[in-house]
Amino acid sequence: MRDLNKAMVIGNLTRDPESRFTPSGQAVASFTVATNRRWKSQDGEMKDSAEFHDVVAWGKLAEIAEKILKKGRRTYVEGRLQTRSWEGQDGVKRNKTEIVASDIIVLDKKPDEADLDINQDISEPGVEEAAKEEEKEDKKEDKKESESKKEEGDKGEEEVDLDDIPF
């Protein structure tokens, strides 16, 4: 039988990610995601509560997270739960459960133009620009094709009115 350790949260970042590097040079980013819950109590009163989830991202994902995530951004985080234990300077044993991220998706609108373009760091240089140019060319071709059909008189094809479609 297999086990499953998977966590998925959607919430808002409570702070900007804190980044650092391990002695071996691997990037680590940590941040917190707040999730809210609203329910109606037995006496009919609306109640709210918030949970705060500590998240850790490693490697390239940590580098990207540090650049694109900002306090307040709505974010989807997927990963596994991990509990760490250590002894504090006061001699007290401490535990912390966190999500080790495997996927992070920003859900709110794209940041202002002053912020970093997300695709700039994770795609090959020039690929995005080439895709935009190709899209422009496709639109030009579609427009030319549409104009040529109008000039040919549609050669017996009926024009479909959207109101005539039964669904």
**CATH number for 88:** 2.40.50.140
Q: What is the pLDDT of residue 145?
A: 58
Residues 45 and 68 in one domain: yes
Q: What is the total count of domains within the chain?
A: 2
Contact 75, 109 (CB under 8 A): no
Q: Please determine, for residue 123, whether its predicted confidence score (pLDDT) is greater than 50.
A: no
Residues 15 and 94 in one domain: yes
Question: Which residue reads 């009926």 in tokens?
Answer: 158
pLDDT, mean of residues 79-100: 94
Q: Please determine, for residue 120, whether its predicted confidence score (pLDDT) is greater than 50.
A: no
* Radius of gyration of the CA atoms of the chain, in A: 25
Residues 100 and 129 in one domain: no
Residues 71 and 123 in one domain: no
Phi, psi of 67 (to 5 degrees): -85, -35
- As a dihedral over the C-alpha atoms of residue 60, residue 63, residue 67, residue 69, rounded to 10 degrees, the angle is 80
Residues 30 and 90 in one domain: yes
pLDDT-based confidence at 109, cuts 50/70/90?
confident
Residue 17 lies in a domain: yes
Assessment of whether the complete model's pTM goes beyond 0.85: no
Residue 107 lies in a domain: yes
Q: Please determine, for residue 40, whether its predicted confidence score (pLDDT) is greater than 70.
A: yes
Residues 88 and 131 in one domain: no
DSSP 8-state assignment for residue 137: H
Contact 17, 65 (CB under 8 A): yes
- CB atoms under 10 Å from CB of 56, counted, come to 20
β-pairing verdict for 93-106 and 46-58: parallel
Q: What is the pLDDT of residue 124?
A: 36
Residues 19 and 76 in one domain: yes
pLDDT-based confidence at 130, cuts 50/70/90?
very low
Q: What is the pLDDT of residue 159?
A: 61
Measured CA to CA in angstroms, residue 55 lies from 15, 28, 36, 100, 115 at distances of: 11, 10, 16, 6, 23
Residues 77 and 44 in one domain: yes
Residues 84 and 35 in one domain: yes
Average the pLDDT over each of 94-98, 108-112, 134-138 and give the range with the smallest value.
134-138
Q: Please determine, for residue 125, whether its predicted confidence score (pLDDT) is greater than 50.
A: no
In terms of residue numbers, what domain contains 143? 118-152
Q: What is the pLDDT of residue 133?
A: 54
Residue 135 lies in a domain: yes
Residues 106 and 131 in one domain: no
Residue 160 lies in a domain: no
pLDDT, mean of residues 130-145: 55
